């Protein structure tokens, strides 16, 4: 069966069938349903090889991301899931390019005509992938941005805005402990880590608050939380390992929102997974991924090619983990 057969059964033109399948033009729900019913009736699947030859596209989006035990790749799964869903809505598959390949991986998938576009994740402040992205023949979207971002297409969450909101929420304390990203993450100089810390430090200085930074090691989360609490800290800002931090706090007999104040950089799902929901700023991984793919397909379709950085704005959701202002003094 072919798209011509689908068009005949659905009673529409062959081009309409193409538009329904590609999503390149708006189609009424009634017409879309006619085409989908015809496809189901005929069990029609487009021939990917023939389609690629006709369109000179591979129908593949490459995603360059770290994938090793120390990279924290599990935290990237929400991004990957949304990228995959957005790609499938445009009839594209997703190809993962691991961190070990680095620049060579980008050259391989772009130069070998293995993909139509590339998404680059876990961007470092000085990222060698940025230096070659400007010369690749396929559109490339950075989720995050390096220090030198001239000529690049970038989108990210507003980590600076998130840092300012979280520090301000605890500004009634003279000292705040930041349970931050571990040494293995800090050493990689991921751009968002530096941006968050600089903004947090600036906000704290303006508010007269001292920040004690504690890089949380993956193997020492519970131990480090106990050390911080034993030292008298009752204001915690958490950027990583939230579930383990909350459980460690509860293990000491203390309760967020009653005995101490706790805020976090965490998704809504993670922040509300505890008996005491956590006041948090979400990184909005799904919104970031959705907008990244939307912009990438605009580039593929010949749309606006303006470069620069787009930020998904930060917002704070107050929950029960922070005591009313004035009761903590």
What pTM was estimated for this model as a whole? Answer: 0.80
pLDDT above 90 coverage of the chain, percent: 60
* Packing angle, helices 191-207 and 159-169, rounded to 10: 40
Structural domain boundaries in the chain: 3-46, 60-157+285-312, 159-283
d(CA 127, CA 123): 6
pLDDT surpassing 50 at residue 225: yes
| Mean pLDDT over each residue of the chain, to the nearest integer | 88
Distance between CA 152 and CA 307 in Å, rounded?
5
What does the CA dihedral 61, 190, 186, 79 come to, rounded to 10 degrees?
-40
Tell me the per-residue pLDDT of 255-264, one tens digit each, with 9 for 90 and over. 999 999 999 9
% of the chain at pLDDT higher than 70: 89
pLDDT of 171 > 60? The answer is yes
Please give the CATH number for the structural domain made up of 60-157+285-312. 3.40.50.2300
* Range in 60-74, 135-149, 219-233, 276-290 the model is least confident about: 60-74
User: How far apart, in whole angstroms, are the C-alpha atoms of residue 208 and residue 104?
Assistant: 47
Tell me how many degrees the CA angle 116-93-98 measures, rounded to the nearest 5. 80
Q: What is the pLDDT of residues 80-117, one digit of tens each?
A: 899 999 999 888 999 988 766 678 878 888 776 788 99
Using the predicted structure, report yes or no on whether residue 67 has a pLDDT greater than 70: no
Fold exhibited by the domain 159-283? Rossmann fold (3.40.50)
Distance CA 107, CA 51 (A): 24
How does pLDDT run across 11-65, given as a tens digit for each residue? 999 888 888 877 677 888 889 889 888 887 776 555 554 555 445 678 899 999 8
Query: What pLDDT is attached to residue 247?
Result: 97
The predicted pLDDT at position 38 comes to: 85
Name the class of domain 3-46: mainly alpha
Answer yes or no: same fold for 3-46 and 60-157+285-312. no
CA distance 317 to 271: 10
Which pLDDT value is given to residue 53?
Answer: 45
The radius of gyration of the chain from alpha carbons, rounded to an integer in Å, stands at 24
> What pLDDT does residue 1 have?
64
What's residue 17's pLDDT? Answer: 87
pLDDT value, residue 112 = 65
Helical (H) or strand (E) element with 167: helix 159-169
Beta-carbon neighbour count of residue 105 at 10 Å?
18
* pLDDT > 80? residue 230: yes
Q: Which SS3 state, helix, strand or coil, does residue 7 take?
A: helix
Cβ neighbour number for residue 60 with a 10 Å cutoff: 19
With beta carbons less than 8 A apart as the criterion, state whether 219 and 277 touch.
no
Q: Could you tell me the two tokens for 325? A: 């202002």
- Looking at residue 66, its pLDDT comes to 73
- Can you give the pLDDT at residue 62? 93
């Amino acid at each position: 069966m072919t798209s011509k057969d689908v068009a005949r059964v659905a009673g529409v033109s062959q081009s309409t069938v193409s538009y329904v399948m590609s999503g390149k033009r708006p189609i009424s729900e009634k017409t879309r349903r006619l085409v989908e019913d015809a496809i189901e009736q005929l069990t029609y699947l487009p021939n990917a090889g023939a389609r690629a030859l006709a369109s000179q596209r591979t129908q593949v989006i490459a995603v360059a991301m770290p994938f090793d035990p120390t990279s924290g790749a599990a935290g990237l799964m929400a991004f990957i899931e949304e990228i995959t869903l957005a790609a499938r809505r445009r009839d594209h598959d997703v190809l993962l390019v691991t961190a070990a390949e680095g620049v060579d991986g980008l050259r391989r998938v772009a130069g070998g005509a293995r993909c139509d576009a590339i998404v680059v994740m876990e961007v470092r402040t000085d990222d060698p992938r940025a230096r070659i992205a400007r010369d690749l023949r396929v559109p490339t979207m950075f989720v995050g941005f390096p220090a030198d971002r001239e000529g690049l297409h970038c989108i990210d969450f507003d980590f600076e805005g998130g840092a300012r909101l979280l520090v301000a929420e605890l500004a009634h304390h003279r000292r705040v402990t930041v349970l931050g990203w571990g040494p293995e993450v800090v050493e990689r100089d991921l751009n968002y880590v530096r941006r968050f810390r600089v903004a947090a430090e600036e906000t704290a200085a303006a508010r007269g608050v001292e920040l004690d930074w504690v890089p949380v090691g993956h193997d020492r989360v519970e131990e480090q939380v106990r050390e911080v609490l034993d030292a008298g800290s009752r204001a915690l800002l958490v950027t990583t390992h939230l579930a383990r931090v909350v459980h460690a706090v509860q293990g000491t007999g203390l309760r967020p929102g009653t005995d101490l104040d706790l805020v976090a950089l965490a998704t809504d799902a993670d922040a509300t997974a505890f008996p005491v929901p956590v006041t948090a700023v979400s990184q909005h991984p799904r919104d970031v991924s959705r907008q990244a793919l939307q912009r990438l397909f605009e580039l593929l379709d010949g749309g606006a090619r303006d470069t620069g950085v787009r930020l998904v704005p930060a917002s704070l959701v107050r929950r029960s983990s922070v005591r009313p202002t004035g009761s903590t003094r």
